[in-house]
Structure 1
Amino acid sequence: MDYLIFLVILALESTLCWGALYESVADLKKLNFQFDFIVVGGGTAGNVIANRLTENPRHSVLVLEAGASNEDVLDIIVPFYASRATPNTPQDWNFSTTAQTGLNGRSISYPRGHVLGGSSSVNQMAYTRGSRDDYDRYARVSGDDGWSWDNLVPYMRKTEQFHPPTSQNIIEQFNPAVHNLHGINSVSLPGFLRDTDARVFATTSDLSHEFPFNIDMNSGTPLGIGWVQSSIKNGSRSSSATSYLAPRYLSRPNLHVVLNTLVTRVLQSGHDSRTGKPTFRTVEYASSARGPTRFRLTATKEVILSAGSIGTPHILLHSGIGDSESLASLGISPVHDLPSVGKNLSDHPFLHTSWQVNSTKTFDNAERNETLASDEFEEWLTTRTGPLVDSTTSQIGWLRLPDNSSILQSFPDTSSGPLSPHFELLFTVGSHAARRTTLMISLAQNGIAGTPPPTGNYFTISTGVVSPSARGSITLNSTDPFDPPVINPNLLGSELDLLIMREAVRSAQRFVAAPTLADYILSPFSFNDTASDTEVDAYIHDHATTLDHPVGSAAMSASDADYGVVDPDLTVKGVGGLRIVDASVLPYVPAAHTQVSVYIFAERAADLIKAAFK
């Protein structure tokens, strides 16, 4: 069934009402409204803020989103097609990094969602909260116990609408006490059994000391291997756009969302009468299509920047908020000296390692067979069943270096505590290249073979350094806000991060050597089993990329700290009327896929804003 027919069916199935969704700057001009809150970015966090603030009918909210609608975009909707959503698509900002020293000087694509829902519309949907230690560290760093695990549990539950599996062994797949069935953003377990599921969990019994089974990694104690939980509902992606901006919310008369509108700067609008601080409640915006005309709009209460770890510092720097000396050297007039803007960028380095297997039940087949791929899509379209209802990963492992590791004896422990992992394992039934057409471009750009192997079937364990020590930055390319920023995540930019990645690869090798996989694994594909540390390191440098989890570029710190960008209530230090709510405020990248942390932070931020404007 072709794509046009799919769109027709989807339209017939849809009951959406977009009464408060506008397509352009021109539509915004017609509104002639005044708004209490202006939210810059309709992404993961921004849509949470918009939803929660408009629960109060006396609060009017405007969301300005630079991208287009998420509706009817097949590669966003079908979970298994997620890898097609980025890069080099209209739904991606299509950023690239600087040459990365830790990646042998490679510049790689750096996907970020340029669409309603932001990166929650284009990510791989893994739903992982992280460890109790991660949040308790946020509380310590900020001096605000409200950011601790125990105090955030109500927000974790508030955001989540968990969909239990229909199979009889649900107790063996998750812990019901950890979840909420009545929140907003949908979360579910895999809906399609894969050839390696039983083998992976058998290995957690055979090698339980190193690879213990974890019934529910979202309990605050993620260590071990368990079923992946994903932001998927009934075989389709659940993003902040489909959940927090669902029709029943978007139809609120006090909520307005304008697409294809780029905010170029925030501008000073006066001084706070109580504190004397300069206030920044005015936004400058234009058409995302490099519209030459700039418009301005002032919020009566507050501007909330939710443009993400790349977009938020980019807007601040163009606004003259950042390191004054650096801004002046670029020809931007400094307005507010805040040297930490754009600093402290942190991300998870990522790597695929594959083995050839004694099975034909892998994703590789559909990559090579158009008829099979079409049949899989037909099954998804008509019944919401089959291999396309899930992402490429069914199990995730979170593991620590041993306490007696020579690495921990030589370097400070960068994890947030004893409950937190140093690295991650993701299990995929196919070669790393068998992830659909669009990704081939990315793999080729990143120095990885651009097509799947012409024959054979594969098993891949991808590894991520989830407690990295390296830090990067976001800086400006020019004084034109339409130009992309200079993005340097400094992936594998420290010796410690390389050593952790090497140990993660060695851990994956030990996993596939388990007795339960002896008749399944045929031979290594990425490099020889006997590869030396030097050879493994060379493979890492040549092939590693990113898990697309940038945080920290507008980091939260204690109210009296002389560093950081926002105070514990997420207001920008030293100014009034301006708050940041997105992944950029996280001072450390959590040992988890970051979307859940952003949802959680946004939920509490909404309550902080409500309290400030009773």
Structure 2
Amino acid sequence: MASQRIFTSFSDLRPEYDFVIVGAGIGGSVLANRLSEDPSVTVLVVEAGGNESENLLVQVPFLGVQLAGGPADWKYVTAAQKGMVDRTIPCARGKALGGTTCINLLLWQNGGSDLWDNWAKITKDEGWGWETAQKCFKKASHLAPPAGGRDIHGFVEPSAHGQGPVAVSAPGYPYSLDKLSIDAAEELGGTWSFNIDYNPGNNLGTSYVQSTVGNGQRSNSAHAYLYPAASRPNVDILINTQVTKLVPVSGSQPANFRNVELAHARDGPRHIVIAKKEVLLAAGVIGSPQILQLSGVGSQELLSSHGIPVLVNNPDVGSNYRDHPMASLHFEVDLADTWDPVVRSPDAINAALGLWKEKRQGLLVNGPANTFSLLRLQDSDPVFQKHPDPALGPRSAHVELVNINGFAPFGNVVPPTTGNYICVLAEVASPLSSGTVQIASPDAFDAPAIDPALLTHPFDQAAMTRAITCALTFTRSTPLKGHINGPVGPTATIDDDDASKLAFARENTYTMNHPCGSCAMAADDAPNGVVDSKLRVKSTAGLRVGPTMPSCHIQAVVYIIAERAADLIKAQYGLAK
């Protein structure tokens, strides 16, 4: 491969580019690759983090749980959560080439037909419907053989997948919990029933995890899209640099944001780079609204309070921020193949790492879970007498369970030093609680105030009690109950009543780290929303933002949005495909 044009100095840059892309996560990586396919187009990607391509924790799927709080994480923390006894919650967001795909837990699902057809309805644009989403999904990824050449028959539906650059595979290292989980789902029936693959459109049931793993190694957006683009002479990548604000062309109406102000440090010099065609803001669910607000696009009240001139008064910027609340339940089991003994022993984990390095096999080729369930509440559930159904359609979930083959520590829970365990993550998949991302100062180097308002909506509180009930039901099923010795830690305090379950949730809930919605998309003629159906920031020119609450793990959804955005931009400017 030709040398990659990855820089750290302003002096290496051209004075102007056709497109300046802010952020090198999924959106930035996909856009840089697809737009630069036209050799006449020049592209600059600006990333606040560095290049983590040689970071072993990033490469090894199982070790990804250690990345939160490290150098590839922004280390954001939420405001005190009123719905969760005023606890603050870490919000892991990737700060590196590849963004959060470098530190996430790898799960891959496209959201199903309900999600995309709903977005088409909201935007009044069929281009966001399921038919287009499937095409973009297939452009983004391909099925890779699981590590060790494990047969994937019965694990995935190959026809739902494509030939794109992101590697996706079924679990390469089996556990006895896998079959027990599938057998339990078949016994429980209904929406628990086995679903070979969520990606053909039905986002319900129990299935094997699909992960962004190829040849036993993490496949992130930098490796799949950005590094190949970086070898092209028309692409420059600037790392360890923050965008401090976007500056409109003088006198432009509406504000035409073509000037991007950059800085390496809080007190460092500022540098302006010009986008001849557009600025593409792909800084994520936290960074994008922060940069818009710093640039004068946001709530007049908020901006004025920080002395920022208001160029576009749009209170929706940074609003509608949501995440999936998740509580972890722990159980001691008699299963001998949980990963607890391995992670406790330096010798054992080093041996596993040696096997991974030599053959890309063994425990470390997987993420922490091999099976999960997306479930609907019963139509007769009393919660629907008080609240409308928030699910996007009949094939979308209200709650999710993720089955982890070991003691996964969250918060202050300390793993036991002996024994074998499983952890069941109970999640609200269609939350109604909605919060905000707001600048805390006019300085781009100050973290914004992040408040997802978790478990503040009564529906979410009820749904979380149902999710916990489902987790307990799962462990009491015939296939599991003979292997469960009993709940441990805070899980042992849960009684079989909603008040007890909600009290447990308030004390022990974190998030699945699926934040979204802070730059909401709406119809072109709608008075609300941040971006229109073409992802253009309303009441501005020369500026787009990638948006996203899907009831699923969201990384594949963002890849689809990014591929769709690239198609829209290419069509507008007549670029080569």
Q: Which bin holds the TM-score, normalised by the shorter protein?
A: over 0.9
The amino acid that maps onto 2:232 is: R
Aligned twin of 2:483: 520
* Cα distance in 2 between the residues matched to 1:101 and 1:508: 25
Aligned twin of 2:62: 80
Equivalent position to 1:347, from 307, 313, 323: 323
Q: 3-state DSSP class of the match of 2:279?
A: strand
Aligned twin of 1:183: 164
Equivalent position to 1:555, from 515, 520, 541: 520
What do residues 214-273 of structure 1 show as CA deviations (whole Å, max 9, x unaligned)? 0101111021001110011111110100100234x321111111100100100111466x
Sort the Cα spacing of 1:465 and 1:597 in 2 relative to 1 into closer, same or farther, 3 A.
same
Aligned twin of 1:11: none
Equivalent position to 1:393, from 366, 369, 375: 369
What do residues 198-224 of structure 1 show as CA deviations (whole Å, max 9, x unaligned)? 111111222223520001011110210
Check if 1:613 corresponds to 2:573.
yes
TM-superposed CA distance for 1:152, in Å, is: 1.6
Equivalent position to 2:498, from 510, 515, 533: 533
Equivalent position to 2:156, from 155, 174, 177: 174
CA contact (8 A) 2:28 2:282 kept: yes
Aligned twin of 1:259: 239
Q: How many positions carry a matched residue from both structures?
A: 571
Sort the Cα spacing of 1:308 and 1:529 in 2 relative to 1 into closer, same or farther, 3 A.
closer
Q: 3-state DSSP class of the match of 1:300?
A: strand
What do residues 91-149 of structure 1 show as CA deviations (whole Å, max 9, x unaligned)? 11011100001111001111100111011111001001112111111111111111011
Q: How does 1:363-402 map to 2 (within 5 A)?
A: 363-402=339-378
Sort the Cα spacing of 1:530 and 1:319 in 2 relative to 1 into closer, same or farther, 3 A.
closer
TM-superposed CA distance for 1:178, in Å, is: 0.8
Deviates more, 1:208-217 or 1:302-311: 208-217
The amino acid that maps onto 1:591 is: S
* Cα distance in 2 between the residues matched to 1:562 and 1:291: 39
CA contact (8 A) 1:131 1:591 kept: no
TM-superposed CA distance for 1:171, in Å, is: 3.0
Q: How does 1:293-442 map to 2 (within 5 A)?
A: 293-433=269-409
Sort the Cα spacing of 1:459 and 1:159 in 2 relative to 1 into closer, same or farther, 3 A.
same
Listed as ranges, the gaps of 5+ residues in structure 1 are 1-15, 434-442
* Cα distance in 2 between the residues matched to 1:227 and 1:200: 10
CA contact (8 A) 1:286 1:293 kept: yes
Sort the Cα spacing of 1:490 and 1:529 in 2 relative to 1 into closer, same or farther, 3 A.
closer
Aligned twin of 1:436: none
TM-superposed CA distance for 1:410, in Å, is: 2.1
Deviates more, 1:29-38 or 1:128-137: 29-38
Equivalent position to 2:5, from 6, 11, 20: 20
* Cα distance in 2 between the residues matched to 1:84 and 1:483: 25
Q: 3-state DSSP class of the match of 1:218?
A: coil
Aligned twin of 1:243: 224
CA contact (8 A) 2:494 2:501 kept: no
Aligned twin of 1:66: 48
Q: How does 1:485-496 map to 2 (within 5 A)?
A: 485-496=448-459
* Cα distance in 2 between the residues matched to 1:413 and 1:421: 10
CA contact (8 A) 1:321 1:334 kept: yes
Equivalent position to 1:30, from 4, 8, 12: 12
Q: 3-state DSSP class of the match of 2:118?
A: helix
* Cα distance in 2 between the residues matched to 1:97 and 1:104: 13
What do residues 474-516 of structure 1 show as CA deviations (whole Å, max 9, x unaligned)? 1111111110000001111111101111101101111111111
Equivalent position to 1:268, from 237, 248, 260: 248
Sort the Cα spacing of 1:319 and 1:530 in 2 relative to 1 into closer, same or farther, 3 A.
closer
TM-superposed CA distance for 1:17, in Å, is: 5.0
Check if 1:55 corresponds to 2:31.
no
* Cα distance in 1 between the residues matched to 2:149 and 2:64: 25
Check if 1:543 corresponds to 2:508.
yes
Q: 3-state DSSP class of the match of 1:263?
A: strand
CA contact (8 A) 1:400 1:421 kept: yes
TM-superposed CA distance for 1:346, in Å, is: 1.1
Deviates more, 1:169-178 or 1:131-140: 169-178
* Cα distance in 1 between the residues matched to 2:350 and 2:27: 35
Aligned twin of 1:138: 119
Sort the Cα spacing of 1:232 and 1:305 in 2 relative to 1 into closer, same or farther, 3 A.
same
Q: 3-state DSSP class of the match of 2:383?
A: helix
Q: 3-state DSSP class of the match of 1:415?
A: coil
The amino acid that maps onto 1:565 is: V
The amino acid that maps onto 2:339 is: F
* Cα distance in 1 between the residues matched to 2:90 and 2:399: 22
Aligned twin of 2:97: 116
The amino acid that maps onto 2:224 is: S
Aligned twin of 1:592: 552
* Cα distance in 2 between the residues matched to 1:456 and 1:210: 33
Identity %: 37
The amino acid that maps onto 2:193 is: P
What do residues 287-325 of structure 1 show as CA deviations (whole Å, max 9, x unaligned)? 0x4342111111110000000010001001111111123
* Cα distance in 2 between the residues matched to 1:528 and 1:471: 29
Aligned twin of 2:442: 479
TM-superposed CA distance for 1:84, in Å, is: 0.6
TM-superposed CA distance for 1:282, in Å, is: 0.7
TM-superposed CA distance for 1:31, in Å, is: 3.1
Deviates more, 1:403-412 or 1:294-303: 403-412
CA contact (8 A) 2:150 2:172 kept: no
The amino acid that maps onto 2:328 is: H
Q: 3-state DSSP class of the match of 1:172?
A: coil
* Cα distance in 2 between the residues matched to 1:529 and 1:488: 27
* Cα distance in 2 between the residues matched to 1:202 and 1:169: 19
The amino acid that maps onto 1:251 is: S
Q: What TM-score, normalized to structure 2?
A: 0.96
TM-superposed CA distance for 1:33, in Å, is: 4.5
* Cα distance in 2 between the residues matched to 1:429 and 1:484: 35
CA contact (8 A) 1:70 1:241 kept: no
Once superposed, which parts of structure 1, at least 4 consecutive aligned residues long, lie more than 6 Å away? none
What do residues 10-54 of structure 1 show as CA deviations (whole Å, max 9, x unaligned)? xxxxxx6542111x1x2x323334310000001111100000000
The amino acid that maps onto 1:350 is: M
Aligned twin of 1:5: none
Q: What TM-score, normalized to structure 1?
A: 0.91
TM-superposed CA distance for 1:466, in Å, is: 1.1
What do residues 62-102 of structure 1 show as CA deviations (whole Å, max 9, x unaligned)? 00000000211111110001111112x11110111000011
* Cα distance in 2 between the residues matched to 1:61 and 1:593: 30
* Cα distance in 2 between the residues matched to 1:358 and 1:549: 33
CA contact (8 A) 2:318 2:438 kept: yes
* Cα distance in 2 between the residues matched to 1:172 and 1:320: 52
Q: How does 1:455-474 map to 2 (within 5 A)?
A: 455-474=418-437
The amino acid that maps onto 1:567 is: D
- Across the aligned residues of Structure 1 and Structure 2, the Cα RMSD in angstroms comes to 1.5
Q: 3-state DSSP class of the match of 2:272?
A: strand
Equivalent position to 1:96, from 64, 77, 91: 77
What do residues 511-560 of structure 1 show as CA deviations (whole Å, max 9, x unaligned)? 11111123211111222564432221111000100111111111111111
CA contact (8 A) 1:509 1:529 kept: no
Sort the Cα spacing of 1:323 and 1:528 in 2 relative to 1 into closer, same or farther, 3 A.
closer
Sort the Cα spacing of 1:317 and 1:506 in 2 relative to 1 into closer, same or farther, 3 A.
same
Q: 3-state DSSP class of the match of 2:268?
A: coil
Aligned twin of 1:574: 539
